[in-house]
Chains A and B, each alone.
Chain A
Amino acid sequence: MAGKFFFIDTTRCTACRGCQTACKQYKKHGVTKTKQYGTYQNPPDLDGNTFRLVRFSEHPAKVNSMAWYFFTEACRHCLKPACKKKADQILKDAIIVKDYGAVLFSKKTKDLEKSFKAIKQACPWSIPTWSKDEKQIVKCNMCYDRVEAGLFPACAKACPTGALNFGDEAEIKKLANERLKAAKKKFDGRGEILDLEDVRALYLITDVQAKYRPVA
């Protein structure tokens, strides 16, 4: 199977959180009890029940106005996953990579509780989380069962605005370039695609990255 890619066009995201909910619904994940802490973002971070999260952040724009940034976040399925490199030093093949690029945390990660922090730190975006229910390290698994059956992952299927896309490499990169051009036209030349050569989830943003998500 050819390499699969996500493309997230943040200029189209309305933060409806359809992707977040579709992920939860398909995987039958429960809820995490949280408190209102002044934002629509919920839960505050990825956890054992939340493999995809829409981050909301507000920043001052012009005088007396605010800009709202939406960023749907999950594992980016790196081409050379740092988490796998770290985990392989401790327990070989606890993290596996499928031929189409999905980085999967197998049940072997149950034995990695002590090394969990090191693996989380190895990830540039701190995506892996320890699931208290499953007693293993978890994160987005690219809906490998759906993808192998020729379906879209639950999140990409649900997206109503075309912000979250999924497909083969050539198709996604072509779409990304088209959208980048359109974004640059609309946002006075601003716009970039993050980590184009490193990850399988390409993000199109039109402002500095730090405004979209907390940078580690």
Chain B
Amino acid sequence: MSLTRREFLKWSGTAGAAAAAMCLGFDLRPVSSYAADLKILKAKETTSICPYCAVGCGLIVHTKKSGKLLNAEGDPDHPINEGALCAKGAALYQMTVNKNRMKNPLYRAPESDEWEEIEWDEAIEKIAKRIKETRDATFTEKNAKGQMVNRTTGIAHVGSAALDNEECWLLQGIMRAMGLVYIEHQARI
């Protein structure tokens, strides 16, 4: 078989195209579907403190631009935990993102055996009203010896471990202003 130069070029061109087509027939996708895409790379980092116990481990909380929580992990620069967290601290994410989380106060009326969901406004008003009632009813200006005490022993206050230092300060201020003497916090119990 003799080929002219022109025919040779034509044929070799076709062969090249065929080879290229064969290549495209192969799967050109990368072998692995594992590509590194660090989800916290562009997230906003905010430092925070773990609310659970009195140790007070430092946290870095990663949030998306929309403000949605993405991840929470130990803060390596924090002197207390140096990046580490226990199981409770490591699970902090689910304190916010949790379908079991309660979003409204529950109210059980006297002598009722059922909890009903009520609005915050209603709950706060109820609490305020009862605090006022109880305080007025149990307030003692003077003790048995006649010394001025200005206190109420009808109400006790227990602070939640999820309160931070500043919140605790505010709360105990309010409680003392009302004359409470039984003021306690979870981290001390």
Contacts and interface: CB of A to CB of B under 8 A. Distances in A.
11 contacts: A18-B89, A22-B90, A25-B91, A25-B93, A93-B32, A98-B34, A107-B33, A144-B34, A149-B36, A157-B73, A158-B89
B87 A26 contact: no
Interface size for chain B: under 10, 10 to 19, 20 to 34, or 35 or more residues? 20 to 34
Contacts of A78: none
Interface in B66-110: 71-74, 81, 83-94
B181 to A, nearest CB: 37
A160 interface: yes
Interface string A133-167: 00000000100111011011010011111000000
A76 interface: no
Contact of A106 (B34, B81, B87, B90): B34
B90 A158 contact: yes
Contact of B87 (A18, A28, A104): A18
A26 B71 contact: yes
A199 to B, nearest CB: 20
B33 A25 contact: no
A145 B74 contact: no
Contacts of A49: none
A157 B74 contact: yes
Contacts of B128: none
A142 to B, nearest CB: 11
A96 B38 contact: no
A20 interface: yes
B31 A146 contact: no
A148 B34 contact: no
B33 to A, nearest CB: 4
B116 to A, nearest CB: 28
Contact of B32 (A16, A24, A96): A96
A161 B89 CA distance: 14
A17 B32 contact: no
Interface string B8-45: 00000000000000000000000111101111010000
Nearest to B36: A148
Interface string B41-54: 10000000000000
A161 B33 CA distance: 35
A148 B35 CA distance: 10
Contact of B38 (A24, A107, A146, A152): A146
A146 B71 CA distance: 13
A184 interface: no
Given A21-B90, A145-B39, A158 B85 contact: yes
Interface string A71-108: 00000000000000000000001001010000010111
Contact of A17 (B36, B83, B87): B87
Nearest to A107: B33
Contacts of A24: 91
A21 B32 contact: no
B87 A21 contact: yes
A82 B65 CA distance: 43
Contacts of B74: 157-158
